[in-house]
Amino acid sequence: MPLQFAPDNTDAIPLHVIEADMLKGWLGSQSAPVAAWVGAAGFTGALGSTLLVPDRDGGIAMALAGYGDGAARARGRFHLAGVAQALPEGTYRLEGPAPDRLDEEALGWLLSAYAFDRYKDQKPASARLVAPEGVEAARLEIIAAGEALTRDLINTPAADMGPDQLEAACRDLAGQHGAEINVITGAALLEQNFPMIHAVGRAAAQAPRLIDMAWGADGPALTLVGKGVCFDTGGLNLKPGSSMGLMKKDMGGAATVLGLAHMIMGLGLKLRLRVLIPAVENAVGGNAFRPGDILTARNGKTVEINNTDAEGRLVLADALSLGAEAAPDLMISMATLTGAARVAVGPDLAPYYTDDDAMAAALDGAAAKVADPVWRMPFHTPYEAMIEPGIADLDNAPKGGFAGSITAALFLRRFADKVPYTHFDIYGWNPTAAPARPKGGVGMGARAILEALPEVLRR
């Protein structure tokens, strides 16, 4: 089912969203039969509860959705998406006072219809909603489509989402929005000075590549860099099986960047967008890069390889160096980079790093507004010594295990030069199904960035 609002029509079923402490007053405004039915059913207005009220002919006269209280709602998000999943197929229209956070609830309803059904039929919510008065329906539909793109890309296994297929997805997106795209593949990476992207991906069956997409002719320059490791075996530092099972999602940074790019282009934001995606598979082979190797990055810095499983920062480094050469007004990288970030904040928060307090304030405010939670982490400069091995400029995997997400972010900052830079160390996966967020691939931070961009880029 498309992630779109239903056309307005007279047959739409009225849906009343009722807070628990407002139920008594609402019942007093209804007919005696309706009040009796609701009372007999035991409906209390508890968050997420639903009730269908029949008409005289056995059809549905109206539907009720419990909205609980503020304390209950604060423990989650997209509450009406859970209602959409509980209601029978049909078209519904909100009646009466609008619920809290109407944009969030309307978007959640759209996302409740998402299902990854490429390999098996799924059963997402089939209840459709007429666009509530007061929301920008077209904007929310574009945002929902961007999120669906991110989820589809992450959910697709590596056999069907290698560097070739990720490039194809980028070309499809570029064609949809009239963007320009250039791809540097295989040995050409060495010829054009992307040595670390080549080193990480050279042992795989599908050639490594750098995907470079550009859109927009006017406004501030924004460069998005997404980690596109389509599968990560760990390389010669081979991951154990238990750690390899979800590695199809190691291109979640690229997927999230592409979903965000769709939102930006679909909404026609006045900016110059560039998307850089190093697309590789970190594989094991006779020509795989090795622990102890020293690689020279695009910007001339040397990197000692102490763990081939810390490959994401290597491919991002070359892409960030390229992005910095054009001196954009803002550069943002997104990557499923470290397990340390998951230990620190869990799977639901998108940790980010920036030296710009105004950027952080804009992101935090935007995240709260659009229900896309983020958490600022420190670029803690005293830890710089941890990524300096002595034998080379940088160490890709400092020993000791302390501050793994911070040291990875510090490593990347070395390649952003003096460009205003923000880095997201995301998870890209929802381990437990929740309203509007089924188990599987999920975008993190993209909607917060989208909401913050106008404030950030007009400075």
Which two tokens mark 156?
């697709």
Judged against a pLDDT cut of 90, whether residue 297 lies above it is answered with yes
Q: CATH fold of 141-457, please? A: Aminopeptidase (3.40.630)
Residue 447 to residue 458: CA distance in whole angstroms: 18
Average pLDDT estimate for 371-381: 98
Q: Are 457 and 224 in contact, with CB atoms under 8 Å apart?
A: no
pLDDT, tens digit, 9 for 90 and up, residues 419-459: 999 999 999 999 999 999 999 999 999 999 999 999 999 87
In three-state secondary structure terms, 319 is helix
pLDDT tens digit sequence for 230-242: 999 999 999 999 9
Which has the closest alpha carbon to 297: 411, 212, 407?
411
Which residues are tagged catalytic? 239, 313
Q: What average pLDDT does the chain have? A: 97
Are 98 and 22 in contact, with CB atoms under 8 Å apart?
no
SS3 percent helix, strand, coil of the chain, rounded to 5, is 40, 20, 40
Structural tokens at position 294: 């020293």
Give start and end residues of each alpha helix (H) in 60-183.
Answer: 70-73, 79-86, 102-111, 137-155, 163-177
Write the secondary structure of 1-16 as one string of H (helix), E (strand) and C (coil): CCCCCECCCCCCEEEE
| Domain spans, the chain | 13-113, 141-457
Q: Which residues pair with 214 in a beta bridge?
A: 180, 274
d(CA 22, CA 345): 36
Q: Which two tokens stand for residue 376?
A: 């600022």
pLDDT of residue 1: 65
User: pLDDT tens for residues 45-69?
Assistant: 999 999 999 999 999 999 999 999 9
Name every residue whose Cβ is closer than 8 Å to that of residue 371 and which is 6 or more positions away in sequence: 77, 78, 101, 104, 108, 447
Structure tokens at 56: 């005289």
CATH hierarchy code of domain 13-113: 3.40.220.10
User: Whole-angstrom Cα distance, residue 6 to residue 21?
Assistant: 30
Query: What is the reported pTM?
Result: 0.97
pLDDT in tens, 65-86: 999 999 999 999 999 999 999 9
Whole-angstrom distance, CA of residue 257 vs CA of residue 225: 7
Banded model confidence at residue 100, pLDDT cuts 50, 70, 90: confident
Residue 10: band (very low, low, confident or very high) from pLDDT cuts 50, 70, 90: confident
CA distance 228 to 213: 14
Of 168, 330, 319, 161, the closest CA to residue 249 belongs to 161
The residue among 345, 320, 344, 346 whose CA lies nearest residue 333 is 320
Tell me the pLDDT tens digit for each residue of 237-264.
999 999 999 999 999 999 999 999 999 9
